[in-house]
Structure 1
C-alpha cells in the first residue's frame, strides 16, 4: 500500500465545513451564553445561575433531532464541560459588554449566511432556534432587581433586546 497512514477526516469536513467555518459554528453557543448573561449587570449568584442554565441548554443540543446541532453541541460540551458530569463553566465577564454583544450578533449573522449556503433550511433553522433557546434559558434563569431574589424582572429590557436581536440576526 502506497502512502502514509490514513488520517480520519474531522466529521465537520464531511459536512462541507472548513476549520474556520466550524470554529464559527462551535464558538457561537458559548458566546451567546456570555452575551445573554452580560446583557444585564447581575450579581455573582445570578450570573452563576445564568451560566449554569446556559450550559444546560448547550448540553441539551446533544439530544436534539438536528444532526448539525447534535455535532456542534457535542463539540462545545467536550471543550467547555458537561453539566451532567458536574463540570462548571468558568465565569466570563466581557470588559465591554456592548462591544461583545455586537460581535456576537455579527457572528450570528455570518453563521446564518453560512448555513443558508451549506445546509438545508431545517438544519439552519434548528441551529438558529437552538442558539435563541440558549439565550432564552440564560435570560430567564434568575430575575434581576428585587431583594434577595424576590421581585424584580424575570427578563429585563436589555436581555429582551439581546434575545430579539439574536433571533433577527439568525433569520436575516
Structure 2
C-alpha cells in the first residue's frame, strides 16, 4: 500500500473538476422536478461502484467489445454535448419517459452524469499515473461530496431561486459544452492517427 497524500489530492481535484457536481446542480434540480424525488444514497453508491469497477475492468471491457478508450470518450462527448444544449437553449432533447425516482437516480444521474464517459476516461488515465489505492480514495472523497450536494440540492434550490438556477444552468451549460468539445477534440485526433 503506497498511500501518497499528494497523489490523492491531485486525483481528487482532477475527478472533482471532471464530475463537476457543482455545475450539475441545475441538472439535479430539474431531474428532481421531473421525477419528484432523487435517491441520493442510491445514486452515490451506484456511481461509486461503476467508477471503481471501471478503474479495474475498464480497459478490458472496452477491449472485449472492440472499443478504444478514445472512441468511448468521443461517444461521451456527444452525450455531454446534448445535455449542454438542453441547458443552454432550455429545450428537451431527451424524451422524459416518465421514469420513476428509482430510474432517475440511476439514469441519467449515476450514469452518465456522475460516472460518465468523462470521469471513466479520466479514471483510466489516473490509473496509468497513480497508485490504484490513491485513485480509489480520490473516488470515495468525490462520492462523499456528491452525496452531500445531492442531499442539499433542494435547499440550494430555495436559496438560489428560479432566476438564480436559470442563470447557473445557462452558464454551466456553456462550461459543459466546452468540456464536451475538449473531450471530443482531444480524442478524435487519437482516432485518426
TM-score by length of 1: 0.26
Q: Which structure: greater helix fraction?
A: 2
Q: Report the TM-score, using the length of structure 2 for normalisation.
A: 0.24
Higher relative contact order (CA 8 A, sep 6+): 2
